[in-house]
Chains A and B, each alone.
Chain A
Amino acid sequence: METIDISIYSLSLVFLLLAVPVILSQVYGLGLIKPLLSSATRMTIQLVLIGVFLKYLFLWNNALINILWLFVMILVAVFSAIRGSSMKPDKIFAPIFISFALATFVIIFYINMFVIRLDHVFDARYLIVLGGMLLGNSLRGNIVGIDTFYKSIRKDAKKYLYVLSLGATHHEAVRTYMKESIRLALKPTIASMATIGIVALPGMMTGVILGGASPDVAIKYQIMIMIGIVVSTMISVLLTILLTSQACFTEYGTLRRNIFIEDNPE
């Protein structure tokens, strides 16, 4: 069972579908024509380029190049994560990068080595595709986690300082906030785990099935990736919080005053 290719001619039929929103936008004056077409163009160009790139990546299948590309993906993920955060980029860039890189590598390595048992652990197809899924899905959790952590400490300043005054170590004082933010970061993933397959066919399964594998292979991959996502989100959120501590707390254990974007510079 091979995936049926879509010819250029057929693909143009897909673009024809765009006529529907274009006409509707015109009729109802939605003003969506320009953004829609520009986004569709951008998407096409980006995907064509990445298609060519991945083709060679899979062709060469060189471990070093594959790892390098995974790093580029992590970098892009980090930039995107930082944009969505209310924290100042210079405070969180390095910690998030290290956390994402470590969490992704550990999980991918474990999966490729022990679960799928690849001969070639850094095989492009598995490394890039699985890495992309892990990154894409732990991103949101990570931002929720780190934002919640620092915002709730700031909001709770009085209580936080009181706990410090009771003789708590820094670790003891932040523990409640750490628990709460990790819980919040993982909540959507845990919830979607419980309804998966019933509400929607997840992306990984769709891909594996379209790729020609049978559903029972597909579900195994899906289970594997979901657990991978939970674990890597957890690792990356925890690491991000630990690694940002140095930059975001003073040596007195209090929150620095210039860590949020909305803050005035010191």
Chain B
Amino acid sequence: MIKYENINLYFDGKMIFNDLSLKIAKGEKVVVLGKSGLGKSSLFSLILGFVRPQSGRVSFDGDPVDEHTIWHVRQKVSFVDQDVSIGDYKVSDWFSFVAGIKSNHSLNFGEERINELMDLFELGRDLLDKYISALSGGERQRVAIIVSVLLGRRVFLLDEVTSALDKNLKKKTADFFIERKDWTVVSISHDAVWLDNPNVKVFDLEKKAWKQ
């Protein structure tokens, strides 16, 4: 599904990746592990076309990620960044903004579906009327997760999505993603709920190898 081949990536003269190769198959659940500054997030930026490698190849679903395919790739991937939002609007505006993007027009952003997910992630209904800036870190993370699920895509790139959640919610969230057989999930996280799950493969970015 996602393939990095001999990637060399420099940023501001600093080496991020040197000859990195990694293959993630369809339906796999992968956690990327490594110290900060190792370039974990750059793995996501490469798939999403936010950075381009100096050499090497990134492919998505068999096609190389380039200036032509990237717009299509972005419609296939759900990306949840660390404390991301759409600016200072209400939570409900966040949903309507995402639903308003042309390529998302056919999606179900109905009230029922939103409420179902809000319940699942233990968010009160009154949250919809709150301003995003008034949410706690954990609440914002969960809204971002809900948005990513509403997008109806099958590939998830999750950057520290459970970091601000309490123990119970961490488990619930990780399991939610891990249990979907047809979803390909790549998660950057240090949380045990991901690392200790037997269905999750752990990639050690420092050693550039799968952890046995």
Contact = CB atoms under 8 A, between A and B. Distances in A.
Contact of B85 (A159, A164, A169, A254): A159
A195 B70 CA distance: 50
B179 interface: no
Contacts of B70: 252-253
A176 B100 CA distance: 13
B48 A164 contact: yes
Interface in A179-224: none
Contact of A254 (B50, B77, B103): B50
B40 interface: no
Given A172-B102, A251-B67, A167 B74 contact: yes
A258 to B, nearest CB: 12
A42 B52 CA distance: 51
A60 interface: no
B86 A163 contact: yes
A242 interface: no
Q: How large is the interface on B (under 10, 10 to 19, 20 to 34, 35 or more residues)?
A: 20 to 34
B20 interface: no
A163 B101 CA distance: 9
A172 B48 CA distance: 17
Majority SS at the chain B contact face: loop
Contacts of B79: 162, 165
A252 B84 contact: no
A159 B84 contact: yes
A159 B50 contact: no
B104 interface: yes
Interface in B81-127: 81, 84-87, 98, 101-104
Contact of B102 (A169, A250, A251): A169
Interface string A249-266: 011111000000000000
Contacts of B102: 168-169, 172
Nearest to B44: A165
A34 interface: no
B9 interface: no
A169 B84 contact: no
B30 interface: no
A64 interface: no
Contacts of A253: 49, 70-71
A8 interface: no
B146 interface: no
Nearest to A257: B12
A166 B101 contact: yes
Given A252-B67, A252-B70, A254-B49, A166 B98 contact: yes
Contacts of B84: 158-159, 162
A254 B70 CA distance: 11
A169 B71 contact: yes
A161 B48 contact: yes
Interface of A: 156, 158-159, 161-169, 172, 176, 250-254
